[in-house]
Amino acid sequence: MKILITGAAGFIGSHTAEYFAKLGHTVYGLDNFSSYYDISLKKMNAQDIVNQGVTLIEADLLDDLSTLLPKDIDYIFHFAAQPGISATTSLDEYVRNNIFATQHLLNWAINDAKNVKLFVNIATSSIYGKEATLPETALPEPISYYGTSKLAAEQLVLGEQRVGKIKACSLRLYSVYGPRERPEKLYTKLIKAIFEDTSFPLFKGSEKHSRSFTYVGDIVKGVAAVVGREDLVDGEIINIGSNIEYTTQDGINLVEEIIGKKALIEVTPPRPGDQLRTTALIDKAQELLNYMPTTSFKEGLQAQVAWYKEKFIK
C-alpha cells in the first residue's frame, strides 16, 4: 500500500508516517519545512521518519505536484497546514497554507493520482469555536483565523466528495500532546521552561480552561483506522480525541510532579481566539472506527518528558 502524508516533518504527521512505515507500507512524506518554528526541530523529526524508511520530499503544496509525487498513491493523509492561534500570523498565511494549498493538493489527487482510495483531511476542534463540546452535526462557529481557514479547507475536501470526484473524510483532532509537540505548544514549552529554570508564560485565565488532551499515539491509531473503511467514512466528519477533560492547571501539576520541580509561572494577557473548553464527543469514531484512546494523561506526559530529556538535555 502506498501512502502520502503531507506535513510529514511536523508533530502528528511524523508520528503517522512512522506508524505506517513500521507496518511495512510504502510511505511518502511531503513537507515544506516552513519557518513557523525552528526548522532544526523539523529536521530532527524528518531524520527519525527517514530512518524508518519514509521517502521524504521537501516541497510546498503549491509547487507542481505532478512532477514531485508518485501517481499510484492509495491513501492521502493531509496534515500540512498553517497551525496554531497566533497573533503574528497573518490572514494571508492562513488562507495560502490552509485553503489554497488544500485545493491544489485536491486538484492533483483528482487529476493525477486517480486511484486514490481515500483522501483524509486532518481538521481541528477549533472549527467548533469557543466551546468544542459538540457532535459533528453541530453548526461550526470558529473564532480564529486558524479555525475558520481549517473549516474552509474541510469543506473544499468534502465538496469534491459530494460531487463524486473523490472519496474523502475529515477528522477533527482534539488537543494533541506528546513527543515532538511543537515548541510553542503548552507542554513542550512548559517542560523546557522547568528544565532551563526560565519563566513559563501562561495566558491569564487559561489555567481554568479544560481540554480533551489526547496522546499523539492514540490520535495516530484513530487516524489510521480509516484504512479499509473507505465506504464507511466516505463523506463523514469524525471527532478524534479523548473523552476525558483536564484543566490546563491539571496538566501543569502533572508535569511538575513528573519532573520533580515547580514551574516559574508568568501570567500574560489572554490570547484572542482561544477556546474555553473542549470535550471530544467520540461516539461516531467508536461506531465507525472502533476507536478508543487508552493512554492516561500521566503516561502521555511521562513519555513527552522522556522524549524531551533524550533530545535536549545533555
- Chunked into runs of 10 residues, the chain (314 residues) has average pLDDT values of 98 98 98 92 96 98 98 98 86 98 98 96 96 94 96 98 98 97 94 96 88 96 98 98 95 98 92 80 98 97 98 89
Separation between Cα atoms, residue 23 and residue 224, nearest integer Å:
11
Separation between Cα atoms, residue 242 and residue 214, nearest integer Å:
5
Per the CB < 8 A criterion, the answer to whether 299 and 249 are in contact is no
Active site residue 28: no
C-alpha cell at 158: 468534502
Q: Which of these is catalytic: 94, 146, 187, 215?
A: 146
Domains of the chain (ranges; CATH) run: 2-176+213-240 (3.40.50.720), 181-210+244-278+296-312 (3.90.25.10)
Q: Among residues 12, 27, 38, which one has the least CA distance to residue 180?
A: 12
Rg (CA), the chain: 19
C-alpha cell at 40: 532544526
Q: Among residues 272, 268, 36, which one has the least CA distance to residue 145?
A: 272
In this predicted structure, what is the pLDDT of residue 207? 87
In this predicted structure, what is the pLDDT of residue 314? 74
The owner of cell 526541530 is: 41
Q: What is the pTM of this model?
A: 0.95
SS3 232: helix
Helix (H) or strand (E) holding 199: strand 199-203
Per the CB < 8 A criterion, the answer to whether 80 and 100 are in contact is no
In this predicted structure, what is the pLDDT of residue 274? 73
Separation between Cα atoms, residue 148 and residue 129, nearest integer Å:
9
Per the CB < 8 A criterion, the answer to whether 216 and 176 are in contact is yes
C-alpha cell at 246: 483536564
SS3 214: strand
In this predicted structure, what is the pLDDT of residue 122? 98
Per the CB < 8 A criterion, the answer to whether 81 and 98 are in contact is yes
